[in-house]
């Protein structure tokens, strides 16, 4: 491959990965065409993009970006996955699909998150984390919980006092006192 063609491919990869701050490397070698197509379709439905890349060209394309180091120490044919809502959703989907028997050899090989390289085991651990939506719901619950408790504590004595005033106002026989 000529240097001109390598530069064109590198520039194209750099454009595709522009703005991507977290990605996973996966193995897709050994899958038949039907399994590959159905895997890509399932991933596309979740907003995940998959691209089989030449390691050396992808390493050149990601140099100096947040994905720098993704291809460090990696050998063999790899595919890069990115997208979804966040790295946790991406890891959950990749791990889930890796366990599906239809896709055979599909498995996470590693990745990069916040500039730190991840191993396959760390990708598995990240997949167990709460997703962004789950984290936001936990945070909202923690924010609203003390306020709801305080409101109940403030309203509780007032409601009791109002009940007592109403009872005294009705008198002993249940009629309203004048």
**Is residue 14 located within the same domain as residue 72?**
yes
Domain co-membership, 104 together with 163: no
Rg (CA), the chain: 28
Between residues 82 and 151, the one the model is more confident about: 82
Q: Is the pLDDT at 174 greater than 70, yes or no? A: no
Residues 71, 100 share a domain = yes
How high is the pLDDT of residue 75?
A: 83
pTM over 0.75: no
Same domain, 83 and 104: yes
pLDDT over 90 (residue 80): yes
User: How many separate domains does the chain show?
Assistant: 2
Find the farthest-apart pair of alpha carbons in the chain and give their distance in angstroms, rounded.
103
* Measured distance CA(77)–CA(166) in Å, rounded: 80
Average pLDDT, the chain: 86
Q: Which domain holds residue 70?
A: 3-129
Q: Judge if 22 and 37 occupy the same domain.
A: yes
**141 and 115 both lie in a single domain:** no
């Amino acid at each position: 491959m000529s240097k001109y063609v390598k530069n064109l491919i590198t520039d194209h990869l750099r454009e595709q990965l522009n703005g991507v701050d977290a990605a996973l490397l996966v193995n897709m070698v050994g899958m038949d065409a039907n399994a590959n197509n159905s895997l890509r379709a399932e991933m596309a439905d979740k907003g995940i993009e998959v691209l089989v890349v030449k390691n050396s060209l992808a390493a050149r394309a990601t140099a100096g970006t947040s994905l720098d180091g993704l291809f460090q120490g990696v050998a063999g044919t790899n595919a890069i996955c990115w997208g979804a809502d966040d790295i946790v959703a991406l890891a959950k989907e990749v791990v889930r699909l890796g366990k599906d028997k239809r896709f055979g050899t599909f498995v996470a090989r590693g990745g990069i998150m916040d500039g730190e390289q991840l191993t396959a085991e760390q990708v598995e651990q990240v997949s167990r984390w709460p997703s962004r939506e789950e984290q936001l719901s936990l945070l909202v619950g923690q924010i609203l919980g003390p306020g709801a408790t305080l409101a109940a504590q403030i309203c509780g004595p007032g409601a009791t006092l109002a009940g007592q005033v109403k009872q005294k106002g009705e008198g002993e026989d249940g009629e309203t006192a004048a």
